[in-house]
């Protein structure tokens, strides 16, 4: 199992997660993925990178440094994003009321590894 695969497996293993992705920040393209059947990884990558970019700009406009964690909560699930480093995002998409706390910690752990 590659480093990317083992990193994504830790996220994809959380119950309720439909897809775990590594995404190029600038391009919104999938670098690596571990997704359930029928999950549109390309759409999730493009959209989450775009959302990340917008929220990042908002944070900077608010006089802050870029965020290290983002969570979009929706009616039927959530999207969670952390920057692994300056060019890669880790993304998790869940369509169930899964345990967000565990997912958040695993993603932040991945972010910490990238930053370090």
Partner 1 sequence: MKRSIEPWVAGPLDRFVAESGARVVLLMTSAGQVVAQHGFTRALDVMSAAALGAGIMASTSELGQVIGGEHFGALVHQGTELGVYLSPLPMPDAQWIGLVVFGRDTSIGLVQLFFGQLVSALAGAAPVRETRPVLAENFEADLDASLRALFGD
Partner 2 sequence: MADNVQTLTARLAADPTSLAFLPLGEHLRRVGQLDAALAVATSGLARYPHLADAHDLLGRIRSDQGDGDAAFDAWTTALRLQPDHAGAHKGLAYLAFRNEDLSRALRHLEMAAHLEPEDPSLAQAVERTRAQVAGRSTPTGGAPLEPPLDDTMPGTILVDLDGRRLAGSLHTPDGSEVSDGLAALLAGVSQEASRVARLLDLGSWECLSTEGPDAAMHLLPPTPDTLLLAVGEAGAPPGRLPLVARRAARHAQQWLERLG
Q: Residues 32, 46, 55, 72: which binds partner 1 (CB under 8 A)? A: 46
* Contact flag: residue 69 with partner 2 (CB under 8 A): yes
The rounded radius of gyration (Å) of the Cα atoms in the chain is 13
Q: How far is CA 45 from CA 17, 55, 113, in A?
A: 15, 15, 20
Distance CA 115, CA 105 (A): 15
* Contact flag: residue 91 with partner 2 (CB under 8 A): no
* Contact flag: residue 58 with partner 1 (CB under 8 A): no
Give just the sign of the alpha carbon dihedral 75, 65, 109, 11: positive
* Contact flag: residue 47 with partner 1 (CB under 8 A): yes
Contacted by 29, from partner 2, partner 1, none: CB < 5 to 8 Å by type: partner 1
Least distance (Å) from partner 1 to the CB of residue 10? 24
Contacted by 10, from partner 2, partner 1, none: CB < 5 to 8 Å by type: none
């Amino acid at each position: 199992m590659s480093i990317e695969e083992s990193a994504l497996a830790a996220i994809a293993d959380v119950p309720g997660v439909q897809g775990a992705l590594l995404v190029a920040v600038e391009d919104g393209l999938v670098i690596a993925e571990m997704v359930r059947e029928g999950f549109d990884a390309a759409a999730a990558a493009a959209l989450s990178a775009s959302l990340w970019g917008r929220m990042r700009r908002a944070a900077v406009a608010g006089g802050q440094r870029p965020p290290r964690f983002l969570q979009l909560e929706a009616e039927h699930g959530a999207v969670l994003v952390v920057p692994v480093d300056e060019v890669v995002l880790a993304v998790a998409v869940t369509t169930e009321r899964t345990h967000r706390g565990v997912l958040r910690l695993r993603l932040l752990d991945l972010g910490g590894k990238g930053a370090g």
